[in-house]
Amino acid sequence: MKEIIRIAVQKSGRLSEDSLSLIKECGIKFYNGTGKLKSTAFNFPIEFLFLRDDDIPGYVADGVADLGIVGENELVEKDKQVETIKKLGFSKCRLSLAIPKGEEYPGISYFEGKNIATSYPNILNTYLKSRKVNASIHEISGSVEIAPSIGLAEGICDIVSSGSTLMMNGLKEVEEIFRSEAVLIGNPGMEEVKKSIVEKLLFRMNAVQQGKGNKYILLNAPNDSLEKIISLIPGMRSPTVLPLAEKGWSSVHSVLSEEQFWENIEELRQAGAEGILVIPIEKMVL
Ligand code: PRT
Ligand code: ZN
């Protein structure tokens, strides 16, 4: 039988779209009809399991899936024997403590002897211990933010992204306890044949990520400032310099990160660069 790997991704929720786009950007084609729990790629030895994110660390630890894409919050909370292979840079959020807006917050001692509602009892417990605070943890599985207004708890510990859910529920964020993003996880006991397929997948994911973080830049430069301009946009090995039809001018092509672009743009213009184009890169292999 031809060897194949299995990856567990969230069926529907905040991780789903970005997880599947990443896989598609790796050139992997598959059918993802609604309601499907399993699917096999047409052009890469990979099978997908569509699951609730809570179950993903467990499935990967048990080897039912070889790989999984899950938020670090879920991964740490579930505390399963899995390997974190790669940070994926999407679904970024934080896990924070919040209290009613009108309360004064003197510091972490506020929570001493209080009730805190959360869906992340393990992460919260570890945090409270590290801060030497004794508080009761009330585990609830959803709508944590309403707990203070219904008298269930004095504070909450929940995922925050923009902060608008807290605000809408009359709460304020007082401590950030954990930062999270989506990660690729793997079963630590994977066989060699499977590992080599994972390597191929990682090669593709890295090419996609590198491409996203970088831009292709083209500009026109007077020949007497080429040296300065090349020093500002050195590129992968070195920039391409081509003569323009107009004498004394060249076209310079290079690759740089978006941050480098914004940092260097003024200096590039001062050095005489003009007609600057910045183009997205789809894939990049170093
Ligand atoms: O059904 P299933 O169990 O698979 O999904 P789920 O409902 O448990 O999770 P889902 O899809 O909501 O989130 C999946 C993962 O996305 C989480 O485990 C986090 O790693 C990540 N993530 C990123 C978030 C958020 N941002 C987020 N904003 N998870 C939840 N939220 C919720 C939060 O719980 C709160 O209710 O959004 C609200 C806060 O958002 P703001 O923008 O108002 O601050
Ligand atoms: Zn969940």
Write the pLDDT tens digit of every residue in 244-258: 999 999 999 999 999
Calculate the average pLDDT of the chain. Answer: 96
Is residue 34 predicted with pLDDT exceeding 80?
Answer: no
The minimum-distance atom of ligand 1 relative to the CA of 158 is: 34
With a 6 Å cutoff on the Cβ, whether 13 touches ligand 1 is: yes
The gap from C-alpha 184 to its chain's centroid, in whole angstroms, comes to 10
247's CB contacts (< 8 A; 6+ apart) are none
Q: Of 3.40.50.720, 3.30.70.120, 3.90.870.10, 3.20.20.100, which CATH number belongs to 214-280?
A: 3.30.70.120
Which residue's CA is the nearest one to ligand 1's atom 32? 159
DSSP class of residue 3 equals: -
Q: Of 3.40.50.11440, 3.30.450.20, 3.40.190.10, 3.40.109.10, which CATH number belongs to 93-180?
A: 3.40.190.10
The per-residue pLDDT for 1 is: 62
Q: Beta partners for 179?
A: 94
CATH-assigned architecture of domain 5-90+181-211: 3-Layer(aba) Sandwich (3.40)
How many other C-beta atoms are found inside a 10 Å radius of the C-beta of residue 60?
31
Considering the entire predicted model, what is its pTM?
Answer: 0.92
Question: Using CA atoms, how far apart are residues 176 and 252, in angstroms rounded to an integer?
Answer: 45
- Could you tell me the distance, in angstroms and rounded to a whole number, from the CA of residue 74 to the centre of ligand 1? 10
Is residue 33 predicted with pLDDT exceeding 80?
Answer: no
| Across 222-232, average pLDDT | 96
With a 6 Å cutoff on the Cβ, whether 185 touches ligand 1 is: no
Is residue 144 predicted with pLDDT exceeding 70?
Answer: yes
With a 6 Å cutoff on the Cβ, whether 18 touches ligand 1 is: no
With a 6 Å cutoff on the Cβ, whether 175 touches ligand 1 is: no
Is residue 11 predicted with pLDDT exceeding 80?
Answer: yes
Is residue 43 predicted with pLDDT exceeding 90?
Answer: yes
**86 exposure class (CB count in 10 Å sphere: 0-12, 13-18, 19+):** middle
Could you give the percent of the chain with pLDDT greater than 90?
Answer: 96
